[in-house]
Chain A
Amino acid sequence: MLVLFIALPLAMALLILLLARSRPALSDWLANLTLLTLAVLSFYSIGSSELYHMGGWVTPLGIDLRLDPLASLLLIVVNVVSLAAGLYSVEYMRSYTAKDHYYGLFLLLVTGMNGVILAGDLFNLYVFLEVAAIASYALVAFGCAHEELEASFKYAVLGTVSSTIILIGVALVYAVTGTLNMAHIAARISEIGMTSPLLLAFGLFICGFSLKAALVPFHAWLPDAHPSAPAPVSAMLSGVLIKAIGIYVLARLVFNVFGIGHGELTVLRWLGIISMVVGALLAAGQSDIKRLFAYSSISQVGFIALGLGLGTPLGMIGALYHLVNHAVFKSLLFLNAGVVENATGTRNLDELGGLNKTLPVTGVTSMVGSLSIAGIPPFNGFWSKLLIILACVEAGFLWAAVVAVAVSVVTLVYQLKVQRHAFFSDPKDLLTSWTKEPPLMSLAMAVLALGCIALSLLVITGLKTPYLISAAQETLMRFGFGL
């Protein structure tokens, strides 16, 4: 079953390119059925741990896929958000040509992310990371307009540099430990300790994956790349890609493979705090709605990195919880922005106004998304931010807690700015074609908005039960991990 997460989207990506040429309806059906299957399958992975040997070759020789609670948490997030983005694409991508190419790339992106999450060794992690990254470069450039090409070039160059840095790290780790299997590396490192080449490799990994996760000061590509892509792709990039190939891998390497002590975690903590502050302040100054959301992603990923960098169980729970929450509400907000852009032809907040009356579903769902991301109870964002702030206090970083509260306030300010300018102010005469949202777009947004509310229930049920977040946290905290 494990291999299906990689094989199914990969096979369907090629099949769509073969079969659905100039038959956009068929590619819609094939792609969304695939994504639906993956989303359903991902829920079946809850609570099970599994090691799959590719081709029947056993561990030291073959390639392993491994499923543990952390991986299944990420699988659920990635595949559910992909499904929502896929449903949304059916109507949104009508204005573009070559829908089959779009779905092909989209499914390759999903393949890459699932592969990164399940990979049991460093080199396959690198390969899947490149699959996801190349698909995302192409998807950012999909419209082939001036801005999209420029953003994609910038993103591709920085992305390739970061991949190269990661590959140097992989080479160094292999040179020192003589293996690429992550569990073996962890065992070996706990034997020999952090020697200086390993420390260099660790530094390279931090740089490389921070570039992928767009932590400040490695963030320069994100505010260009994420807004320029088509809306469902923005939702995928901001919602899940930076987490699956950035934050997730960082967490995996730092805690499971290197088993880092508290001294080295300072780096992660500072990256988190700087991203949080810089991202929020830059977001507040934007008037392009998608660019604002992109900067806000940097800020929210900073929260996650801060929670992980604390290295305490509570911080870890907060970080993972915020990771799930952010995936849901940020992809929701990008889908909303896509509706606004399509309906009015502009993304500039100063030109928008009064969309609540003409686009009711978008109005309501974006309200839910904005309140969630700003951390207003009872929505999910409140609980995860609260946990991170409490964890800061508990770990003795009172100033970090104060900074986090201040950043939350700034978040509220810029989200209210979006709400007020786009949805609540007096209607302006700009609605061109739409009188309301098409049904599938509304469905996708409604599902994610319901997710925002439903996820706040996790604070009651999910944190204590051995299913998701606490299980994932335990996976991270356990020193090293078994074979």
Chain B
Amino acid sequence: MIYSLCLLLILVGLYGVIVSRHTLKIVIGLVIMEHGVHLLLILIGYRAGGQPPIVDPGTLPALFAGQSVDPLPQALVLTSIVIGLGVLALLVALCVRLYERYGTFDVTEIKRLRG
């Protein structure tokens, strides 16, 4: 059930990317999509009532693995957020440059390439 909410968030983002005409809104759509996937990843590693994945000295590894949430997806999400930040910076820079050249944020008016 809760997984479908992630899917919904991803689809909301995709809808934004496809439908909006404003370049920055397209970028926002992409970010929403990305965070939908991040939530999905976190949910995959989640365990109801699990402890944070930090080993206390003295805990048995097997016992710990049975109780903690999965730390791997959290590491993936951290990496992915950093990548997302890089892409976001580049996309916003492109939007600004596009505005300088074309004087508009409207993608339907940015159409020199044809054919």
Contact = CB atoms under 8 A, between A and B. Distances in A.
Interface of A: 123, 127, 130, 134, 137-138, 141, 144-147, 149-154, 156-157, 160-161, 163-164, 167-168, 170-171, 174-175, 180, 223-224, 228, 285-286, 288, 291
B101 A146 contact: yes
B8 interface: no
A379 B61 CA distance: 61
A157 B115 contact: no
Nearest to B83: A130
Contact of B113 (A150, A160, A170, A174): A150
Contacts of A170: 76
30 contacts: A123-B79, A130-B86, A134-B87, A147-B113, A149-B101, A150-B110, A153-B91, A153-B95, A154-B113, A156-B87, A156-B90, A157-B30, A157-B91, A161-B30, A163-B87, A164-B30, A164-B37, A167-B34, A167-B37, A170-B76, A171-B37, A171-B44, A174-B41, A174-B72, A223-B115, A228-B113, A285-B115, A286-B115, A288-B115, A291-B115
Contacts of B34: 160, 164, 167
A264 to B, nearest CB: 23
A154 B111 CA distance: 11
A138 B87 CA distance: 10
Interface of B: 10, 14, 17, 23, 26-27, 30, 33-34, 37, 40-41, 44, 72-73, 76, 79-80, 83, 86-87, 90-91, 94-95, 97-98, 101-102, 110-113, 115
A134 B84 CA distance: 10
A150 to B, nearest CB: 5
Given A160-B34, A171-B41, 4 more contacts: A141-B97, A150-B102, A160-B30, A171-B73
Given A123-B79, A150-B113, A168-B37, A137 B90 contact: yes
A144 B27 CA distance: 19
Contact of B94 (A141, A161, A163, A291): A141
A157 B26 contact: yes
Contacts of B115: 223, 285-286, 288, 291
A145 B113 CA distance: 12
Nearest to A228: B113
Give me the 5 closest cross-chain CB pairs, A-B, nearest first. A175-B44, A224-B113, A130-B83, A171-B41, A153-B94
B112 A147 contact: yes
B14 A161 contact: yes
A383 to B, nearest CB: 32
Contacts of B111: 150
A156 B91 contact: yes
A134 B37 contact: no
B10 A164 contact: yes
Nearest to A223: B115
A150 B10 contact: no
A171 B86 CA distance: 21
Contacts of A130: 83, 86-87
Contacts of A224: 113
B96 to A, nearest CB: 10
A153 B30 CA distance: 12
A149 B91 contact: no
Contacts of A163: 87
B94 A152 contact: yes
A174 B72 CA distance: 10
A12 to B, nearest CB: 20
A151 B10 CA distance: 25
A175 B40 CA distance: 10
A313 to B, nearest CB: 36
Contacts of B30: 157, 160-161, 164
B13 to A, nearest CB: 8
B101 to A, nearest CB: 5
Nearest to B95: A153
Of the listed residues B44, B73, B76, B95, the one surrounded by the most CB atoms of chain A closer than 10 A to its CB is: B76
A174 B14 CA distance: 23
Contact of B17 (A146, A161, A180, A286): A161
Contact of B90 (A127, A138, A223): A138
Contact of B112 (A137, A146, A288): A146
Contacts of B113: 147, 150-151, 154, 224, 228
Of the listed residues A134, A151, A160, A288, the one surrounded by the most CB atoms of chain B closer than 10 A to its CB is: A160
A465 B29 CA distance: 51
A146 B102 contact: yes
B15 to A, nearest CB: 12
Contacts of A168: 10, 37, 40
Contacts of B10: 164, 168
Contacts of B86: 130, 134
Contact of A127 (B27, B72, B79, B95): B79
A137 B94 CA distance: 10
